[in-house]
Amino acid sequence: MSTETAGAEIKEFFKAYVKSKNGQIAGENGEVFTVTYPDKAEAHEYTYESSVARKTKAQLITAGSPAFQQLLRECLENGAPCQIQVKPKGDMESLIRKYFKDQAFDCQSCYETSDAEPVHICVKPQRCIHRINNGKIVSVEVGKSEPQKFFLFYYSATFQNKLRAKNEEIIPIIMDEKGNTLPAEAFSEDNLLCNEALVLQDAKNKLKSEVFENLKYAADEKLSALLQQKVLLYDLPLGKEKKAKIRSFEKRLRRERREHVISKRHDFDYVKWQTSYDTLVKREEESYTTNIAVKFVNLLVINTAKVKFEVKLDNKAAITCSFTLGINQPSEVTCPICHSTFTEGYATQDGQYVCSECTRQSVDTAKVYSKKAALSLDEKLCEYIEKDGGFICTVCGKKYSKLLEFKCSHDNSSVCIYHTGTCSVCGKTFSKLNLKYTSDFQRQRCPKHTKET
């Protein structure tokens, strides 16, 4: 939202306010216009321009002005200026199914590669869709729905420094009824205002002025912390230029002192000069300080609901999750083993649904299991073997993957890679138990070729 858009919305808001009071606006196209109300004899003068308000007695209607703040407080007594009710466009089950996919999908609204076969990649802070691997969705069961209310404060902040162009920014801050601020990554305006799956309806609930004041106080505190970070970023490219400007100013003062001393026209008072020097340098440094002008622009009250649900899979696992309509998306799921959140998971053979960090893949069958499954570790491949899979080496007695199984050509026994050898005569593979070295220990022979010697 730009400052121009904010100004246009304030004008629309003021017109709606006057209309609700059955008032009449005259001369709105001019710099100063008048408003008359049926229950008041005298007309009131208003203006949208701060320069005009300074020259005349007209009351200023703009973000942060006393007259506008008074209008807001009066509106809050009868209902918030902007209040909406968030609802799904269709049924809740259909909405949830849009966020969970058990097959390949294209994130059309995010990023597309320029290859011959384009690949769509979600680059949003909140992933658009949760990807389910190795499993299929059987059903979605919607559980309890709890009403929730959030307050979205809009502030207009102007950053100004004489070393760079003025920067204006609209800063949104969202919090719940208890004054807890939602982190920036947990809320996206697009998810609320540009979500085709949601319906936004006007609501007319009242908001007590003391509740508004408490919430605004909490929002102002959060804004103060945000502005400190933004000023650091705004000033970051100005550091070298500031130092150069101050060094140049100090050089000029010292040059003037040197000229006074050399001229000998006046008695030079060093103490007085040093005091003046420190004052001027400090004033010069302060002139490069970034100034911030902040105005409270608008308040949007969001009436929504927190929905709990279960997505049941064909491996008998259930994805239990919850989300708040319009505030966040159900694409983040909590892993039942490590309790971390993830946006792409695996339905396992042992009836779990876990993150990639908690999966173990069988090296023999390529099936996926969770960390809770009883699997054996193949030390050679550093992969896992199913309980009834693999083989046991007849020489060392250890269990290995069938990928590393060798059969002895003499007795068909199973042998691991560490305990096999080849006959130097026939070249066949044998267990080391069935191979014998020659007297010079240079060659090894199988039982058949050992007898022949």
Report pLDDT digits (tens) over 11-46. 888 888 888 888 888 887 788 889 888 888 788 889
Two tokens, residue 244? 């150069």
Tell whether 374 is covered by a domain: no
Alpha helix ranges (H) inside 102-238: 189-193, 209-235
Residue 379: inside a domain:
no
Does the residue 233 lie in any domain?
yes
On whether both 40 and 133 belong to a single domain, the answer is no
Q: Of 78, 93, 126, which residue is a domain's last? A: 78
- Whether residue 29 lies inside any domain: the answer is yes
> Which of 55, 78, 101 finishes a domain?
78
Domain count for the chain? 4
Q: What is the pLDDT of residue 2?
A: 43
212 and 271 together in one domain:
no
pLDDT in tens, 173-182: 999 988 899 8
Domain containing residue 269: 244-290
Global pTM? Answer: 0.62
pLDDT over 90 at 365, yes or no: no
Last residue of a domain, one of 307, 333, 352: 307
Asked if residue 420 is part of any domain, the answer here is yes
Judge whether 181 lies within some domain: yes
Instruction: Answer yes or no: is 328 within a domain.
Output: no
Pairing label, strands 59-60, 376-378? unpaired
> Is 259 found in the same domain as 211?
no
Across the chain, how many H-helices and E-strands are there?
9, 30
User: Residue 116: its pLDDT value, please?
Assistant: 63
Tally Cβ neighbours within 10 Å of residue 259.
10
The answer, yes or no, to whether residue 364 has pLDDT greater than 90, is: no
d(CA 311, CA 209): 42
Assess whether 150 and 173 both reside in one domain. yes
Cβ-contact 77, 206 below 8 angstroms: yes
In a domain, 336, yes or no: no
List, in order, residues 6 or more apart from 100 with CB less than 8 Å away.
129, 130, 132, 137, 140, 311, 319, 330
